[in-house]
Copies of this chain bind each other. A is one copy, B any other.
């Protein structure tokens, strides 16, 4: 573990961290295997001991990103306490906060075009993230009488899409962000409120 030794000791983690730094600085396309090695302080051949190639590293970053994202959303949801609506609002804010504060992860997860079909682990990590949203949607939908209850999966996909759209278009930290006459968080929250109203869940009085 000593950082003075011939062996790095923790190169895999160091490469992941380097990749995140580079993505944050130069965008997802501006990350190179060689520069990641340089940042980690090893020779350009060293990363090949830990990743087959650049794409495998990228997929691993995305996978870790989904795991963190899932944890963040799960924490925001907190089993729907104190009530599902308050918790649901927290999810929205947590979503945008993650996209902004962990934008390198977010880029790796959604903007690098990592193919999901050849990465079962990655696809599974993404599915687990969706499962958190779905679970929250179920709790919300349960407040409706069965005959007016929408499919929770559909509701989860709507909320995911709206959140992702707001995050992509208005919630990023870079120059491609569009100016907005309000905070992205407020835009999302207002949108979710209208949506819930549309489901028949008006003003938190089911």
Contacts and interface: CB of A to CB of B under 8 A. Distances in A.
A115 interface: yes
Interface in A137-189: 150, 153-154, 157-158, 160-166, 168-170, 174-178, 180-182, 187-188
A126 interface: yes
A113 interface: yes
Given A181-B153, A187-B157, A164 B168 contact: yes
A80 interface: no
Given A29-B29, A181-B153, A198-B195, A169 B160 contact: yes
State the oligomeric state as a number of copies. 2
Contact of A165 (B111, B126, B165, B196): B165
Question: Chain A: interface residue count, which band?
Answer: 35 or more
Given A158-B194, A164-B165, A116 B174 contact: no
Contact of A111 (B111, B115, B117): B111
A161 B177 CA distance: 13
Nearest to A186: B154
Contacts of A174: 113, 115
B162 A126 contact: no
A131 interface: no
A113 B165 contact: no
A199 interface: yes
Contacts of A48: none
Contacts of A195: 191, 194-195, 198
9 contacts: A28-B29, A115-B176, A116-B178, A126-B178, A157-B170, A161-B170, A193-B198, A194-B195, A197-B198
Interface of A: 27-29, 110-111, 113-118, 126, 150, 153-154, 157-158, 160-166, 168-170, 174-178, 180-182, 187-188, 190-191, 193-199
Given A158-B194, A197-B198, 7 more contacts: A110-B168, A110-B169, A115-B176, A117-B175, A157-B170, A165-B168, A197-B197
